[in-house]
Structure 1
């Protein structure tokens, strides 16, 4: 299941939640296929400006930061480099579509691998 946590200023996020969820879901589906649509889990985390710092001071207009949880096995596929590049591109495009081109150059998409057997759902380790 692809998990995306998006950190963005609350003032930038407000009123754009539905559009952002839709755009990010569509982006993931372009890489994985339509079968993944119902599995995409997106969490939008809006922060007030005084709770986001860059360079030792509150950030003026920080670009969105995305943590993209992905199964570790995806990185050992023969097409792993292509998948990573496509995910970074489509997620960045989705964010730029919703927030405007001003964010594109600073968007960070961090793909975080979860090894098989290291996730629990409902108090039980999820099958690989």
Structure 2
């Protein structure tokens, strides 16, 4: 299940939640196909001013940052580099369509692979 967690300042996020969820989900579906729509998990984290620092000082208008969690095996596939590149492009385009072109150069998309046997759901170790 792909998990996307977007961090952005709350004042930039307010009122844009539904559009972001739809566009980020669509970016994943564009790569994996419509079967993935129901399993894309998007979490939007709005940070208060002064709670995001870059270079040792509070950031005034940082570009949104996305952590994309996925099973580690997906990142070892023969076509993983192509898939990751397409996801980065689509996710960045989705963010830019909501926040404007000015954020493009700073948008960060980081992929985090979870090894098999390292996830639990409902208090039970999730299967492969």
Q: Look up the SS of the partner of 1:22 in the other structure.
A: helix
Aligned residues: CA RMSD: 0.6
Matched, 1:35 2:38: no
**Residue 110 of structure 2 corresponds to residue 110 of structure 1:** yes
CA distance in structure 1 between the partners assigned to 2:47 and 2:23 by the alignment: 20
How far apart are the structure 1 equivalents of 2:30 and 2:116? 24
Unaligned 5+ segments in structure 2 are: none
Q: Distance in 2 between matches of 1:83 and 1:115?
A: 18
Q: Structure 1: which 4+ aligned runs deviate by more than 3 Å?
A: none
Aligned residues: 128
Q: CA deviation at 1:48?
A: 1.0
What is the Cα deviation at residue 49 of structure 1? 1.6
SS of 2:50's partner is helix
Q: What does 1:82-121 align with in structure 2 at a 5 Å threshold?
A: 82-121=82-121
Q: TM-score when scaled to structure 2? A: 0.98
What displacement does 1:75 show?
A: 1.5
SS at match of 1:51: coil
Give the TM-score of the pair, scaled to structure 1.
Answer: 0.98
| Distance in 2 separating the partners of 1:6 and 1:75 | 20
Give structure 1 stretches of 5+ with no counterpart: none
SS at match of 1:61: coil
SS of the equivalent of 1:117 reads: coil
